[in-house]
Chain A
Amino acid sequence: MLKINNVFAKAGDKDILKGLSLNVKPGEVHAIMGPNGAGKSTLGNLLAGMPYVQAQSGSVEYMGKDLLALEPEERAAEGVFLAFQYPVEIPGVNNMYFLRTALNSQRKYRGEAPMDSAQFLRMVKQKVKDMNMRDDLLKRPVNVGFSGGEKKRNEVFQMGVLEPKLAILDETDSGLDIDALKIVADGVNQLRSAERSFIIITHYQRLLDYIEPDFVHVLADGKIVKSGDKNLALELEEQGYGWLNK
Chain B
Amino acid sequence: MVGLINNWVSHAQLSVNEAEWLADKRATAIQQLKQLDDPGRKLESWRYAESSRLYQSIETVDSPQSLTDCIDEAASDVKIDECVIRLQDDGFVVSDECPDYLDVQAINSMSENEWLDLAFGQETVVNLANTALFNSGVFVCIKTNAKNPIKIVIEYDYKNNNQWQFIRNHLKVTADTSITLEERWLSGRINAVNVYQLEDQVSLLRHQKMSLSQTAQFVSFNYFEVANDVNIVTMNQHYGGGLQHHIHQFNLRAHGAKVKLGSINKSYANNNISDIVQVNHYSKNNQSDVTHRSIAKDQSQIYNNAKAVVAPGADQSVIEQDLKNILLSENAKIFSKPELEVYADEVVAAHGSTIGALDETALFYLQSRGIDVEQAREIMIESFEQEAVVC
Contacts and interface: CB of A to CB of B under 8 A. Distances in A.
B361 A106 contact: no
A91 B375 contact: no
Contact of A73 (B372, B379, B387): B372
B385 A92 contact: yes
Given A90-B379, A91-B387, A92-B386, A77 B370 contact: yes
Given A50-B364, A101-B375, A105-B375, A90 B370 contact: no
Interface of A: 48-52, 71-73, 75-77, 81-82, 84, 87-93, 98-99, 101-103, 105-106, 109, 141, 158, 162
Given A73-B372, A101-B371, 18 more contacts: A71-B367, A76-B370, A81-B368, A87-B365, A88-B362, A90-B362, A91-B384, A91-B386, A92-B389, A93-B382, A93-B383, A98-B366, A102-B369, A103-B370, A105-B370, A105-B371, A158-B369, A162-B369
Interface of B: 359-362, 364-373, 375-376, 379-380, 382-387, 389
B377 to A, nearest CB: 12
Contacts of B369: 73, 76, 98-99, 102, 105, 158, 162
Nearest to B376: A73
Given A51-B364, A90-B362, A92-B385, A106 B379 contact: no
B372 A105 contact: yes
Contacts of B361: 88
Nearest to A104: B370
A49 B372 CA distance: 13
A187 B372 CA distance: 27
A105 B89 CA distance: 48
B370 A109 contact: yes
A72 B364 contact: yes
Nearest to A103: B370
Contacts of A93: 379, 382-383, 386
Contacts of B375: 101, 105
Nearest to B369: A102
Contact of B370 (A50, A73, A89): A73
